[in-house]
Amino acid sequence: MKLTLSVNILKILFFLCLPIQLLAQDNALNRQVMRTHPNGKDHVVLYFDAKTNELAKEEVFFVSGKLEWSGYYKKNLESGLWKFYYSNGNLKVQETYLNGKEHGVSTEYDEYGKKVKESYWKNGKLLKELTY
């Protein structure tokens, strides 16, 4: 009885996880280091969709190896979330893009993590800006 129950649970888990595995394979990215710093650490890294070979993501690193910025592309245009960082690792700016244009809320922070500005964008046009 226990063995049959365990096998049935494993079957259910397998079929529940299968769509997640298939989705992950559909979004597989190939990582390519485009440029390195003189110290050998990555400077610019691009990720390409494994199926279409289209640019999907960009990462740029400080000479220390910490992330300077990262963002996503769709059809070779900025799309989705982009994050920019200070050299101390704190978030500097977080913004979203749609079809290569700023769209949504852009939030800026000082080096210590305090929010200093919010900008509201629609299709690349600034609608409103709040300074704190």
- Which domains are seen in the chain, by residue range? 29-131 (2.20.110)
CA 104 – CA 92 distance, rounded (Å): 17
Residue 117 near residue 131 (C-beta atoms within 8 A): yes
Residue 117 near residue 130 (C-beta atoms within 8 A): yes
CA 45 – CA 70 distance, rounded (Å): 9
What's the pLDDT score for residue 31?
98
What's the pLDDT score for residue 27?
74
Identify the CA nearest to 99 among candidates 117, 81, 118, 75. Answer: 75
Amino acid at 87: S
CA 2 – CA 10 distance, rounded (Å): 12
**pLDDT mean for each 10 residues of the chain (132 residues):** 46 42 61 98 98 97 98 97 98 98 98 98 98 96
CA 40 – CA 64 distance, rounded (Å): 10
DSSP class of residue 19 equals H
